[in-house]
């Protein structure tokens, strides 16, 4: 074990670098530790085998069947005879059952009436909190703070498990490059490195140090795979992704989650290069099982086994069930096709018994790993007390504060930047459809969240400045609006020192699943309202609440201060007040490129160059890769975010002028083997203390397969007092300079490498070195 300097920055770096190894080094899986109590714990195998041995074919198939027994989160099967089925051992998993009492009632049937007393595992979409709703995952990722995300997931696990839920269908780790896709809200954005760090954080948070601890829940990493690349950004649409792109961009967060010990994975709805993800032997068996050694359960997404029929690869239910199981889907969520057809398929020899046994083994392994056989029930008396604990609320508030991204902060009337609002701000006009809103602040997929738990911006502002000094005028609804209400909002703005205009989307209808938008801008008459308020000449702060970057070029040109607040969760109001009044300095950074217009989509910073790159940004040269009516550049780049202070970066310095391919490849996947140190000085050149997210990007040129113009390979948070300078050091492992080559192997190649330490993906000056044979 090499000796490292023990600075806090370095500790962060070691974590981030090891995540990269996990995400990208094929050799990483082999080194995976057999975590006690998890699906990699071999000591469970004997129990699994002993039980498997006692089971009839029907009981085995029962373990592969999952139904939704509560509030449906998709079109159901209409089946409700769960009690009888559980007693007969025909159901292995239920979800959408809520409340410890309800969960226990079903569990009693399984434990007392079924022949082998195999417990049911109860699942739910616990996506960004259970009762304590945190910011949506896109917001949580914008914190660039995996440790915080892990803590948030831990809170969610504690609350969910107190309610009998031991399995969450989270995290969603789909790479999302297109703001039209509504489910961008549920993930960590466009980058595989950051996405891997977030995937690991969620898995660790949910699963805790031991999966069989009563407050741990199994993670389900989804949607495997390529779901975020839906053509045209239209949910459920087909995807075409080359193997190279799949391995380089879409698979790493899943691989990282597998290496972190996720107990389950969900197969996706989309077809991938013509083969539906829920019947894809290449991704489900070759990559997931054979290359990565995954020992947990693959659960199909909702009815995605039955959807093999409309996909066009099965003409009947039996064929769909056979194809899904043989490809590697262990559990059939909702379709009921395993229940209806699997026994016949096994008896006819179309599905080998061995495949059924293997799928059942995985299910039993997860149930043993969760400790369900020993502790099948939840203590109904402790359920209520576990919710909304003060530490959970304060974590939700700080997560929200850290998720906000300050996009613009131009001068107000005093000549200083408009934000933070001065302490003597007396009268505030709170305008817009989302300023006084509880339910929308929860974001999509907030099943157990309650609107009344939310402290709205209105309530938090009233507390801060006094209700009498707060003029509330909604102006318009999210989608509708009347002239007279706009006029009332204008009046309020005229009477106030500053207008806070809170605009955006409806969380449930316009973001999340089945919520793709062909024009993801400000809906309805919201821009009209904004224009009217701006016309008053009063200082205006725009707060955007959305599940995606909203295309709003007029606003970015005319409004002096803009804060992206996503959907901030139940403590959104106090968090916003703290940031707007400067108790806290914004530290969030974009995890998606913010588009100027919809025609730019899909838009992502880590694209390849073309043979005809545009020379000067915005240049008018004709025969280059550009639009004739739009810039190539985003409105705001990946990694971008302002602060109330400013930072200056020194040049990036690197420890070597040359690295050798053989030695890089020899150390690939070997833990803690830094091959290059990159350093830059970062100075807080402003007047306030701040926390900067220092980012490190790499480009490889001259390789067998074209590489991204920049790829994130490290990040650290650095706290700086006004005027303070720190040297920020990244010790990079060999993975930072390896790539998926033309043979689809992960390896280093002779190339020219450029390293940038910068504040976002579009700034900084790089240092170059050669990687030689």
Instruction: Tell me the closest approach of the beta carbon of residue 170 to ligand NOJ, in angstroms.
Output: 8
d(C-alpha 651, C-alpha 683), whole Å = 12
Torsion region of 174: left, alpha or beta (phi above 0 gives left; psi -120 to 50 gives alpha): beta
d(C-alpha 545, C-alpha 489), whole Å = 19
Q: Which of 630, 596, 547 is nearest to 235 (CA)?
A: 547
Binders of ligand NOJ among residues 221 to 280 (CB under 6 A) are: 222
Interface pattern 185-224 for ligand NOJ (x via CB under 6 A): -------------------------------------x--
3-class secondary-structure state, position 4: coil
Q: Which is nearer to ligand NOJ, 120 or 712 (CB)?
A: 120
Q: Confirm if 373 and 367 have CB atoms less than 8 A apart.
A: yes
Q: Confirm if 276 and 270 have CB atoms less than 8 A apart.
A: yes
Q: Confirm if 70 and 448 have CB atoms less than 8 A apart.
A: no
Instruction: Tell me the closest approach of the beta carbon of residue 359 to ligand NOJ, in angstroms.
Output: 19
Instruction: Tell me the closest approach of the beta carbon of residue 42 to ligand NOJ, in angstroms.
Output: 29
User: For residue 636, what is the DSSP state?
Assistant: B
Q: Give the CA angle between residues 149, 634, 550 to the nearest 5°.
A: 65
Instruction: Tell me the closest approach of the beta carbon of residue 73 to ligand NOJ, in angstroms.
Output: 3
d(C-alpha 443, C-alpha 347), whole Å = 47
Q: Confirm if 135 and 566 have CB atoms less than 8 A apart.
A: yes
Instruction: Tell me the closest approach of the beta carbon of residue 89 to ligand NOJ, in angstroms.
Output: 23
The answer to whether 302 contacts ligand NOJ (rule: CB under 6 A) is: yes
Q: Which is nearer to ligand NOJ, 222 or 626 (CB)?
A: 222
Instruction: Tell me the closest approach of the beta carbon of residue 75 to ligand NOJ, in angstroms.
Output: 10
Residue 270: alpha-carbon gap to chain centroid: 18
d(C-alpha 364, C-alpha 127), whole Å = 24
Instruction: Tell me the closest approach of the beta carbon of residue 279 to ligand NOJ, in angstroms.
Output: 16
Instruction: Tell me the closest approach of the beta carbon of residue 228 to ligand NOJ, in angstroms.
Output: 12
Instruction: Tell me the closest approach of the beta carbon of residue 220 to ligand NOJ, in angstroms.
Output: 7
The structure tokens 């989804």 sit at: 222
Give backbone dihedrals phi and psi of 148, rounded to 5 degrees, phi first: -70, -40
d(C-alpha 402, C-alpha 212), whole Å = 32
Q: Confirm if 44 and 267 have CB atoms less than 8 A apart.
A: no
Q: Which is nearer to ligand NOJ, 547 or 634 (CB)?
A: 547
Interface pattern 76-115 for ligand NOJ (x via CB under 6 A): ----------------------------------------
Q: Which is nearer to ligand NOJ, 513 or 731 (CB)?
A: 513
Q: Which of 631, 656, 713, 647 is nearest to 682 (CA)?
A: 647
Tokens of 597: 């217009």
Q: Confirm if 720 and 683 have CB atoms less than 8 A apart.
A: yes
d(C-alpha 729, C-alpha 713), whole Å = 13
The answer to whether 567 contacts ligand NOJ (rule: CB under 6 A) is: no
Q: Which is nearer to ligand NOJ, 300 or 754 (CB)?
A: 300
d(C-alpha 45, C-alpha 369), whole Å = 10
For CA atoms 738, 250, 337, 448, the dihedral sign is positive
Interface pattern 601-640 for ligand NOJ (x via CB under 6 A): ----------------------------------------
Q: Which is nearer to ligand NOJ, 99 or 650 (CB)?
A: 99
3-class secondary-structure state, position 218: strand
Q: Which is nearer to ligand NOJ, 68 or 716 (CB)?
A: 68
Q: Which is nearer to ligand NOJ, 93 or 532 (CB)?
A: 93
Instruction: Tell me the closest approach of the beta carbon of residue 66 to ligand NOJ, in angstroms.
Output: 10
Q: Which is nearer to ligand NOJ, 74 or 99 (CB)?
A: 74
Give kind and range of the element (H or E) at residue 200.
helix 192-207
Among 90, 125, 332, 436, binds ligand NOJ (CB under 6 A): 125
Q: Which is nearer to ligand NOJ, 74 or 451 (CB)?
A: 74
Instruction: Tell me the closest approach of the beta carbon of residue 554 to ligand NOJ, in angstroms.
Output: 34
Q: Confirm if 505 and 441 have CB atoms less than 8 A apart.
A: no
Q: Which of 627, 632, 590 is nearest to 609 (CA)?
A: 632
- The burial of 499, by beta-carbon neighbours within 10 Å (0-12 exposed, 13-18 middle, 19 or more buried), is given as buried
User: DSSP states of 497-512 as a string?
Assistant: SEEEEEEE--HHHHSS
Q: Confirm if 241 and 226 have CB atoms less than 8 A apart.
A: yes
3-state SS track over 152-198: HHHHHHHHHHHCCCCEECCCECCCCCCCCCHHHHHCCCCCHHHHHHH
Instruction: Tell me the closest approach of the beta carbon of residue 406 to ligand NOJ, in angstroms.
Output: 31
Among 159, 190, 259, 301, binds ligand NOJ (CB under 6 A): 301
Tokens of 726: 């720190």
Interface pattern 38-77 for ligand NOJ (x via CB under 6 A): -----------------------------------xx---
405 pairs with which residues across the strands? 564
User: For residue 444, what is the DSSP state?
Assistant: S
Q: Which residue numbers are catalytic?
A: 301
Q: Confirm if 270 and 227 have CB atoms less than 8 A apart.
A: yes
d(C-alpha 30, C-alpha 22), whole Å = 10
Q: Which is nearer to ligand NOJ, 73 or 646 (CB)?
A: 73
Q: Which is nearer to ligand NOJ, 184 or 460 (CB)?
A: 184
Interface pattern 143-182 for ligand NOJ (x via CB under 6 A): --------------------------x-------------
Instruction: Tell me the closest approach of the beta carbon of residue 546 to ligand NOJ, in angstroms.
Output: 20
Binders of ligand NOJ among residues 493 to 552 (CB under 6 A) are: 513
Residues 6+ positions from 84 with CB-CB distance below 8 Å:
none
Tokens of 137: 């995952």
Residues 6+ positions from 587 with CB-CB distance below 8 Å:
143, 144, 402, 641, 643, 690, 691, 692, 693, 717
Q: Which is nearer to ligand NOJ, 301 or 436 (CB)?
A: 301
Number of residues forming the site for ligand NOJ (CB under 6 A): 8
Contacting positions for ligand NOJ (CB under 6 A): 73-74, 125, 169, 222, 301-302, 513
């Amino acid at each position: 074990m090499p000796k490292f300097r023990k600075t806090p920055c370095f500790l962060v770096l070691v974590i981030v670098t090891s995540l990269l190894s996990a995400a990208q080094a094929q050799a990483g899986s082999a080194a995976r530790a057999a975590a006690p109590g998890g699906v990699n714990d071999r000591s469970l195998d004997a129990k699994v085998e002993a039980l498997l041995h006692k089971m009839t074919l029907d009981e085995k198939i029962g373990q592969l069947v999952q139904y939704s027994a509560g509030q449906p989160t998709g079109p159901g099967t209409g089946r409700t005879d769960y009690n009888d089925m559980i007693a007969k051992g025909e159901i292995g998993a239920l979800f959408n059952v809520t409340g410890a009492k309800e969960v226990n009632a079903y569990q009693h049937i399984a434990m007392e009436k079924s022949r082998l007393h195999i417990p049911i595992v109860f699942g739910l979409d616990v996506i960004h909190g259970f009762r304590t709703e945190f910011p949506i995952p896109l917001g949580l990722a914008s914190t660039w703070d995996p440790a915080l995300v892990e803590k948030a997931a831990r809170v969610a696990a504690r609350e969910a498990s107190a309610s009998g839920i031991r399995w969450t269908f989270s995290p969603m780790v789909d790479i999302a490059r297109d703001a039209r896709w509504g489910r961008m809200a549920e993930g960590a954005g466009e980058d595989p490195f950051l996405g891997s760090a977030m995937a690991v954080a969620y898995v660790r948070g949910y699963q805790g140090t031991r999966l069989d601890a009563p407050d741990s829940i199994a993670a389900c990493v989804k949607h495997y795979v390529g779901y975020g690349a839906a053509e045209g950004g239209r949910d459920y649409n087909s995807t075409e992704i080359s193997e190279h792109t799949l391995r380089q961009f879409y698979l790493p967060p899943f691989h990282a989650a597998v290496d972190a010990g996720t107990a389950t994975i969900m197969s996706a709805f989309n077809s991938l290069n013509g083969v539906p993800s829920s019947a894809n032997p290449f991704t489900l068996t070759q990559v997931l099982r054979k290359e990565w050694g995954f020992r947990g359960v693959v659960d199909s997404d909702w009815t995605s086994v039955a959807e093999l029929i409309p996909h066009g690869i099965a003409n009947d239910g039996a064929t769909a069930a056979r194809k899904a199981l043989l490809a590697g889907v262990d559990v059939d969520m909702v379709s009921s096709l395993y229940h209806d057809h699997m026994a016949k398929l096994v008896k006819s020899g179309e599905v080998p018994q061995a495949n059924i046994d293997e799928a059942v083994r995985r299910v039993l392994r997860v149930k043993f790993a969760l400790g369900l056989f020993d502790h099948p029930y939840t203590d109904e008396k402790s359920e209520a007390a576990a919710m909304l604990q003060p530490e959970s609320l304060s974590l939700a508030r700080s997560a929200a504060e850290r998720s906000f991204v300050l996009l613009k902060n131009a001068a107000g009337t005093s000549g200083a930047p408009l934000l933070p609002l001065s302490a003597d701000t007396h009268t505030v006009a709170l305008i817009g459809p989302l300023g006084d809103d509880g339910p929308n602040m929860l974001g999509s997929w907030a099943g157990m969240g309650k609107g009344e738990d939310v402290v709205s911006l209105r309530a938090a502002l009233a507390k801060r400045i006094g209700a009498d000094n707060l003029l509330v005028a909604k102006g318009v609804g999210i989608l509708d609006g009347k002239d007279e209400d706009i006029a009332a909002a204008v009046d309020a703005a005229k009477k106030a020192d500053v207008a806070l205009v809170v605009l955006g989307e409806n969380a449930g209808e316009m973001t999340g699943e089945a919520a793709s938008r062909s024009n993801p801008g400000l809906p309805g008459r919201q821009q009209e309202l904004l224009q009217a308020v701006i016309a008053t000449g009063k200082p205006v702060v725009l707060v955007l609440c959305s599940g995606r970057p909203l295309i709003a070029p007029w606003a970015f040109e005319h409004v002096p201060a803009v804060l992206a607040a996503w959907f901030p969760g139940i403590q959104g109001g106090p968090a916003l007040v703290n940031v707007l009044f400067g108790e806290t300095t914004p530290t969030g950074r974009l995890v998606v490129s913010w588009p100027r217009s919809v025609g730019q989509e899909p838009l992502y910073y880590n694209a390849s160059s073309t043979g005809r790159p545009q020379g000067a940004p915005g240049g008018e040269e004709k025969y280059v890769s550009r639009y004739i009516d739009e810039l190539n550049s985003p409105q705001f780049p990946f990694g971008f975010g302002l602060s109330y202070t400013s930072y200056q970066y020194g040049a990036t310095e690197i420890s070597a002028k040359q690295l050798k391919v053989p030695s890089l490849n020899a150390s690939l996947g070997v833990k803690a083997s830094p091959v290059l140190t990159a350093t830059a000085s970062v100075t807080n050149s402003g007047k306030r203390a701040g926390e900067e997210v220092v980012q490190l990007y790499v480009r490889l040129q001259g390789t067998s397969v074209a590489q991204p113009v920049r790829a994130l390979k490290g990040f650290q948070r650095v706290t700086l007092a006004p005027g303070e300078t720190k040297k920020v050091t990244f010790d990079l492992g060999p993975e930072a300079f390896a790539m998926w080559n033309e043979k689809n192997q992960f390896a280093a190649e002779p190339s020219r490498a450029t390293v940038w330490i910068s504040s976002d993906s579009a700034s900084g000056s790089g240092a170059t070195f050669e990687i030689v044979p």
